[in-house]
Amino acid sequence: MVETRTDFRVCNLCDALCGVAIQHDGRRVLSVRGDEEDPFSRGHLCPKGAALGDLLEDPDRVVAPLRREGDRWREVPWEEALDEIASRVVALQRAHGRDSVGFYYGNPTAHSLGAIFFGLLFARALGSHNLFSSNSVDSLPRLLVSSLMYGNQAVLPVPDIDRTRLFMVLGANPVVSNGSIMTAPDIDRRLKDLRARGGSLVVLDPRRGETARVADRHHFVRPGTDALLLAAMLRTLFREGLADLGRLAPHVTGWEALPALFEPFAAERVAPAVGLDAAAIAGLAREFARGGPAACHGRVGTCIQEFGALTTWLLDLLHFATGNMDREGGLLFPSPAVDLGAVAKYSGQTGSFGRFRSRVSGLPEFNSELPVAALAEELETPGRGQVRALLTHAGNPVLSLPNGRRLERALGALELLVCVDIYRNETSRLAHFILPPTLGLERDEYPVLFHAVAVRNTAHFSPALLPAPPGVRDDWRIFLDLLGRLEHHRGGLHALGAGLGLPLLKRLGPRGLLDRLLRLGPSGLTLAKLEAMPHGVDLGPLVPRAPAIFHRPGRRADLAPAVLVRDLERLRARLDAPLAEDGALQLISRRSLRSNNSWMHNSHRLVKGRERCTLLVHPDDAAARSLTQGARATVASRVGAIEVPVEVTRDIMPGVVCLPHGFGHHREGASLRVAKEHAGASINDVTDERRFDAVSGASALNGVPVTVTACEGVGKPGGLS
């Protein structure tokens, strides 16, 4: 009889940090349930967590290095693959310059302790300006504004949802995400507790989504107009004498200039563009000032638009102006066991901006990375600095970045594409090499980034639980092994430095580095202490930390960064622009509780049931275009067209259509058999890489103008070429 046991870990599939009780036999997962003794999640578990074992045992998982030879794949030894990759990278950089080799990492990188620590080291060692990541498709405006206002991109305020009285949600859907840059497991319970103490939930969104359905009030707001809404709210506060910094007054600069900046944005002036009447806009401002403590959570929807940086800045200003910044029940700055702000400061990662620009379009770098809106043109455009080779980690740019078809063509033409990935997916099928990493339960994990944005201070270490397949390696080992070979081929002092430093780094590893960071942090924890607490440890509620948390000179936050003040003129011009192009609708995206971007669709338990890749259309827009429930429609933009089934619903604002992201698994050469049965269409086959935030360069994936027409006959599965 096989002996079974139950161990406790943290699910690392999303930001929520749910504690899990895993029953296993030492080789495979038998069941997963929520850990009721976890002090943070208290037994909560979403459907993704229950599927942890599906990923480990997926028959489509890559479990040995692969080299593509024409249309066929061949397993190769690790040493052979790494040596060939390194030699080709060095040859390309010698012939065409360091910028000829690029690096891209996707969202799951943030869920790997080793990749966070050592992937950054590897990227810097490439010496290339062509570094890209998923940050510029979901969070760049937030990081940039923190850098500009507080002097450090890692200083991130989060809503104190457990003590607020008014919780306003703008461009976010926490009931599905359990928070994002707001780690809050079991958000349903937290929202019920909000009401139990007499509080209220208000949602502003172009879609009546899962969070809006449980809200006290929901207001439709037109995509891309959040900055106008917030500017009008701020004007109301200043005009009516409701703006008050409170105790933070001595710790800020730029406050005096603010009232005049928002004079052009009267509620009556912005109302037609926002889609919300002037009385409601002014009422929201008064309620936020008087109904405190209050917190407004803006997330992906406020970042992936043409005014992403401006919207994020105005969100923070709303809290400053109402005394809700660094206040219990408002926005607070977490005190994690690993002080991410200090780590960023002492490692030089506080967030540089505009030190250099992309070669073709001149988009600004942030923290040594360029926006992904520039990636395709940097791959395609000849000349010194053209990206001829690309290495990716945990990313699927063909499905996750704007104008995926253009990227697909450009990636397929590279001289070298190397993907560190668990699958042969829509991007890695184009690679010359696939290098397979371990997965969460097979390696030590500590969610260093997500503890730093949690609504309560906790810590939870998850040591490796199950053996990994013999042909895979921890991603941090992949990075260091490849780096060692790069330096060997570079020769001279590079080889000498690698010979001295890399063995030390390998001995230290993520565990050793984590232990040192814990010891330097504010909690007094060590790795040994954490390992002795399998359910994690509660370090208490968030507390006010300003001005100590401000990293700018004099410990003062800058409320009026010049680059953002200048962008208000672009926002003012938006008021004079037409609401929509003739006949066009605005396309927005959505996510599912049973999905995680593009890489959870190969688990049958997560994709079974009704079709989820559907286009939400308001009945008035459907009638005007002869669209009916279940029929197929063509969605077209400047860059391409896709075919999708229609779902007619009043849960979407008139003039707006909505499609989930992460689908489009119909492409030939990918080996995801379950995902292909539920292929859907990729929203990024119609998003436009030319649409981006003029300040940060972040991609504007929401509010894309599209035409929607009824299909004649039966359309192709997944899309149109």
**In angstroms, rounded to a whole number, what is the distance separating the alpha carbons of residues 437 and 534?**
25
Q: Is the pLDDT of residue 581 over 90?
A: no
Q: Is 179 in the same domain as 313?
A: yes
Tell me if 116 is assigned to some domain.
yes
Structure tokens at 468: 């990994």
Interhelix angle 562-574/140-150, nearest 10 degrees: 130
User: What is the band of 1 on the pLDDT scale with cuts at 50, 70, 90?
Assistant: low
Tell me the CATH number at 14.
3.30.200.210
Q: Is the pLDDT of residue 721 over 80?
A: no
Q: Which of 206-220, 526-540, 579-593, 627-641 has the lowest mean pLDDT?
A: 579-593
Map residue 322 onto helix, strand or coil: coil
Specify the DSSP class assigned to residue 703: S
Tell me if 18 is assigned to some domain.
yes
Segment 473-494, tens digit of pLDDT? 999 999 999 999 999 999 865 6
Tell me the CATH number at 231.
3.40.228.10
Structure tokens at 603: 């688990």
**In angstroms, rounded to a whole number, what is the distance separating the alpha carbons of residues 641 and 719?**
7
Tell me if 147 is assigned to some domain.
no
Structure tokens at 633: 């429609």
Segment 3-55, tens digit of pLDDT? 999 999 999 999 999 999 999 999 999 999 999 999 999 999 999 999 999 99
Q: Name the amino acid, one letter, at 199.
A: G
- A 10 A CB-CB count for 4 gives 11
Specify the DSSP class assigned to residue 425: -
User: What is the band of 717 on the pLDDT scale with cuts at 50, 70, 90?
Assistant: very low
The mean pLDDT value for 562-584 works out to 90
Tell me if 266 is assigned to some domain.
yes
Which residue blocks in 97-242 are alpha helix, DSSP H? 113-126, 140-150, 174-177, 187-196, 210-213, 226-239
Segment 312-352, tens digit of pLDDT? 999 999 999 999 999 999 999 999 999 999 999 999 999 99
User: Percent helix, strand and coil across the chain, each rounded to 5?
Assistant: 40, 20, 45
Handedness of CA 309, 311, 316, 321 (dihedral sign): positive
Tell me if 595 is assigned to some domain.
yes
The mean pLDDT value for 69-83 works out to 97
Chain centroid offset of residue 478 CA: 24
Q: Is 124 in the same domain as 203?
A: no
**In angstroms, rounded to a whole number, what is the distance separating the alpha carbons of residues 498 and 122?**
12
Tell me if 590 is assigned to some domain.
yes
Dihedral angle at the C-alpha atoms of 133, 134, 135, 139, nearest 10 degrees? 170
Q: Is the pLDDT of residue 499 over 80?
A: no
Task: Please identify which residue in the block is written with the tokens 């200039």.
Answer: 257
Residue-level pLDDT at 635: 98
Residue-level pLDDT at 178: 83
Q: Tally helices (H) and strands (E) across the chain.
A: 26, 28
174 CB-contact burial (10 Å; exposed 0-12 / middle 13-18 / buried 19+): buried
Cβ(708)–Cβ(586) below 8 Å: no
Nearest C-alpha neighbor of 341 from the set 491, 453, 499, 177 = 453
Residue-level pLDDT at 618: 98
Q: Is 350 in the same domain as 267?
A: no
Handedness of CA 229, 230, 233, 239 (dihedral sign): negative
Residue-level pLDDT at 206: 98
Cβ(101)–Cβ(389) below 8 Å: yes
DSSP assignment of 603-658, as one string?
-HHHH-SS----EEE-HHHHHHTT--TT-EEEEE-SS-EEEEEEEE-TTB-TTEEE
Q: Is 274 in the same domain as 415?
A: no
Q: Is the pLDDT of residue 582 over 80?
A: no
Map residue 1 onto helix, strand or coil: coil
Residue-level pLDDT at 177: 87
Tell me if 311 is assigned to some domain.
yes
Residue-level pLDDT at 716: 43
Residue-level pLDDT at 368: 97
Segment 178-192, tens digit of pLDDT? 888 999 999 999 999
**In angstroms, rounded to a whole number, what is the distance separating the alpha carbons of residues 34 and 514?**
26
The mean pLDDT value for 561-587 works out to 91
Segment 122-155, tens digit of pLDDT? 999 999 999 999 999 999 999 999 999 999 999 9
Structure tokens at 187: 């958000």
DSSP assignment of 264-309, as one string?
T--HHHHHHHHTS-HHHHHHHHHHHHHS-SEEEEE-HHHHSSTTHH
**In angstroms, rounded to a whole number, what is the distance separating the alpha carbons of residues 92 and 229?**
49
Q: Is 386 in the same domain as 519?
A: yes
Tell me if 333 is assigned to some domain.
no
Residue-level pLDDT at 495: 60
Q: Is 395 in the same domain as 449?
A: yes
Segment 238-295, tens digit of pLDDT? 999 999 999 999 999 999 999 999 999 999 999 999 999 999 999 999 999 998 899 9
Map residue 344 onto helix, strand or coil: helix
Tell me the CATH number at 434.
3.40.50.740
DSSP assignment of 547-580, as one string?
TTT--SGGG-EESS-HHHHHHHHHHHHHTTS-SS
Domain containing residue 43 = 5-56
Q: Is the pLDDT of residue 704 over 50?
A: yes
**In angstroms, rounded to a whole number, what is the distance separating the alpha carbons of residues 417 and 397?**
12
Q: Is 322 in the same domain as 176?
A: yes
298 CB-contact burial (10 Å; exposed 0-12 / middle 13-18 / buried 19+): buried
The mean pLDDT value for 164-182 works out to 93
Segment 397-426, tens digit of pLDDT? 999 999 999 999 999 999 999 999 999 999
User: What is the band of 597 on the pLDDT scale with cuts at 50, 70, 90?
Assistant: confident
Q: Domain boundary residue among 481, 516, 538?
A: 538
Map residue 384 onto helix, strand or coil: coil
Q: Residue 323 — left, alpha, or beta (φ > 0 → left; ψ -120 to 50 → alpha)?
A: left
Structure tokens at 22: 């895993």
Element (H, E) at 339: none
**For the stretch 116-154, what's the b/e string if a residue is b when 16 or more beta carbons lie within 10 angstroms of its beta carbon?**
bbbbbebbebbebbbbbbbbbbbbbbbbbbbbbbbbbbb
Q: Is 73 in the same domain as 50?
A: no
Residue-level pLDDT at 577: 83
Q: Is 614 in the same domain as 650?
A: yes
The CA-CA-CA angle for residues 667, 635, 271, to 5°, reads: 135
- Per-chain mean pLDDT for the chain: 95
Structure tokens at 435: 């290098």
Q: Is 626 in the same domain as 697?
A: yes
The CA-CA-CA angle for residues 491, 494, 495, to 5°, reads: 60
Q: Is 424 in the same domain as 365?
A: yes
Q: How many domains does the chain have?
A: 4
**In angstroms, rounded to a whole number, what is the distance separating the alpha carbons of residues 176 and 596?**
11
Q: Is 445 in the same domain as 493?
A: yes
